A and B are shown apart, each in its own frame.
Chain A
Amino acid sequence: MQLDQLYQEIILDHYKHPRGCGLRAPYGAEAHHVNPTCGDEITLRVRVGGGRVEDCSYDATGCSISQASASVLFELVEGASVEEALRDHGAFAELMAGRGTVEPDEEVLQDAVAFVGVARYPARVKCALLPWMAFKDALLRAVGAADERIPAKEG
């Protein structure tokens, strides 16, 4: 296995220069998720308003993959509609479950396509998914708290 497929430049860049990190207020809901096998932790907050993710803020400790994943997640969902954010979540989860066989859609996933290499390392998939699981958890509760309905999918 090639190390540079796993640690692509985009991932190392997000790891060394994480976007949007730090916990911010106000927020609608907060989720704290841990990876019990390695001790990676993330606290993630979501604020929704007008059907959009107004802010996604986080504080994470962990490996480069989980840290970069949180940074990429922030870029994707900040300002996105709740529906788009859930679609991104679905696309990323599908990519991670694909064991390297899923061809990621760069239009949807943007920098997150760099995680295609991670999917080939089953031991690291959980690292990449940690921020996304926390995000979905916080998002759904924030939506509930704001009493915002998740728009039904069209078609």
Chain B
Amino acid sequence: MTRTIPAPTLDVDRVRADFPILARLVNGHPLAYLDSAATSQKPRPVLDAVREYYERHNANVARSVHTLGTEATEAYEGARAKVAGFIGAGSADEVVFTKNSTESINLVAHAFSSMAADPRFRLGPGDEIVVSEMEHHSNLVPWQLLCQRTGAKLRWFGITEAGRLDLTDLDRLVTERTKLVALVHYSNILGTINPTATVVARARQVGALTLLDASQSVPHLPVDVGVLGADFLAFTGHKMCAPTGIGGLWARADLLEAMPPFLGGGSMIETVLMTGSTYAPPPARFEAGTPPVAKAVGLGAAVDYLRGIGMAAVAEHEKRLTAYALDALATVPEIRIIGPTDLVDRGATISFAFAGVHPHDVGQVLDAQGVQVRVGHHCARPTCARFRVPATTRASCYLYTTTDEIDALVRALAVVRKVFA
């Protein structure tokens, strides 16, 4: 007899009680916050951790012998260890604190040049970088700039009509000329969760490095860098219950070791002479200047909070919401989903077009009903172009989202119809 393992669950009412903002009214209606893909709300333990840090431990890090300085340093490095554990990193030294995913990706892009000492980072005419058409601008523009600087060529995977990564040309796109494949793990606009293992395997076969933009996956799915097998992982704190202004780059230790400094300044050096300097080992090499200590502490608290609930439970909750939302939106005849319409490898971030009404107007009417969605091209203009829409309306869920909020969205969409009929 086989035993079925019950799916992990979370008590959404208890979760919501941790998020003070969810109790407020917006335009006279209960807030229905459906914009967590843009930024998540913050639970009280995170807010408390930041406050307690400032009230009790605040000092500069890594340069003081006094008690507060020691406590601040321990809090900062403790947060790094928590983040490392959360993503399955082998060592805390493989986690560099940055301000967000954008900075993480730019940091990696900066390591590549025509003069790089390490051949893995040497890039010039004849070399190629591969991205996809569903990248957020943060995982596209840095590579365009790098290609302009070095003469390397940028190539990309397309997207199928169903909103999936088109891997038909995988072996023709990722070749011996490829130096790096930079791919979004979980699309912020389509909600697609990409088959990264297939792409990583091909990249490894041809000797290319791989970077995953995990901005949306680290907050919503159990993520283990050992399982993913990529070389770099970029993520941001504010989408996973932490404050804005703190994010991370995970990279294999031997790669970080081979990478040149990013920003120059205090804390990233070993010895400084007027004639030149030597640099600290990673991760300090990439963290010039006084870091955002309190924000890192907030990120550490966010990791504790999410671990307490369990990422498997978060993912399961969102899977149920996705099913509920896709069914609910299917009852609105004007709506066309932009992205996968089934539940396979798909997250609770759902973009749609409302026939005859511009997303700006949709978002405005929804806002008047207290429903907060994102409208626009979601920093993924090429994806919008691919689906022949100037912009989309996007509803995105998180661990605190309820089916009532999805119902509020559907009710508010009826008002859109009424106003623009």
With an 8 Å Cβ cutoff, the count of chain A residues facing the other chain is 19
Q: Is B61 an interface residue (CB 8 A)?
A: no
Q: Is A1 an interface residue (CB 8 A)?
A: yes
Do A6 and B391 have beta carbons less than 8 Å apart? no
**For window 1-55 of chain A, which residues contact chain B by CB distance below 8 Å?**
1-3, 6-7, 12, 37-41
Nearest B residue to A39 via CB reads B390
Q: Encode B366-378 as 1/0 by CB contact (under 8 A) with A.
A: 0010000001110
Do B377 and A39 have beta carbons less than 8 Å apart? yes
Min CB distance B24 to A, Å, is 15
Do A37 and B390 have beta carbons less than 8 Å apart? no
Provide the residues of chain B in CB contact with A65, threshold 8 Å: 360-361
Query: At the interface with chain B, which of A56-64, A87-95, A132-140?
Result: A56-64
**For window 339-385 of chain B, which residues contact chain A by CB distance below 8 Å?**
357-361, 364-365, 368, 375-377, 381, 384
B residues neighboring A (CB under 8 Å): 27, 357-361, 364-365, 368, 375-377, 381, 384, 390-391, 419-420
Provide the residues of chain A in CB contact with B27, threshold 8 Å: 1
Min CB distance B353 to A, Å, is 13
Provide the residues of chain B in CB contact with A64, threshold 8 Å: 357-358, 360-361, 420
Do A62 and B360 have beta carbons less than 8 Å apart? yes
Do B358 and A37 have beta carbons less than 8 Å apart? no
Provide the residues of chain A in CB contact with B368, threshold 8 Å: 1-3
Do B420 and A38 have beta carbons less than 8 Å apart? no
Q: Which 10 A-B pairs have the closest CB atoms?
A: A63-B360, A63-B358, A39-B390, A3-B368, A38-B376, A39-B391, A64-B361, A39-B377, A63-B361, A38-B391
What's the Cα separation between A63 and B361 when bound, in Å? 6
Q: Is A73 an interface residue (CB 8 A)?
A: no
Do B361 and A38 have beta carbons less than 8 Å apart? no
Do B376 and A39 have beta carbons less than 8 Å apart? yes
The secondary-structure label for the interface of chain B is helix
What's the Cα separation between A61 and B420 when bound, in Å? 16
Indicate which residue in A7, A37, A39, A121 contacts B384 across the interface (CB closer than 8 Å). Answer: A39
Do B390 and A61 have beta carbons less than 8 Å apart? yes
Nearest B residue to A67 via CB reads B358
Q: Is A127 an interface residue (CB 8 A)?
A: yes
Nearest A residue to B362 via CB reads A63
Do A124 and B364 have beta carbons less than 8 Å apart? yes
Do A38 and B375 have beta carbons less than 8 Å apart? yes
Do B360 and A127 have beta carbons less than 8 Å apart? yes
Q: A1-B27, A3-B419 are in contact. Are A121 and B381 (CB under 8 A)?
A: no
Do A37 and B376 have beta carbons less than 8 Å apart? yes
Provide the residues of chain B in CB contact with A121, threshold 8 Å: 364
What's the Cα separation between A127 and B365 when bound, in Å? 16
Min CB distance A151 to B, Å, is 37
Min CB distance B390 to A, Å, is 4
Provide the residues of chain A in CB contact with B364, threshold 8 Å: 3, 6-7, 121, 124
Other A-B pairs, 14, CB within 8 Å; known A3-B365, A3-B368, A62-B360: A2-B368, A3-B419, A12-B420, A37-B376, A38-B360, A38-B375, A38-B376, A39-B377, A39-B384, A62-B390, A64-B358, A64-B360, A64-B361, A64-B420
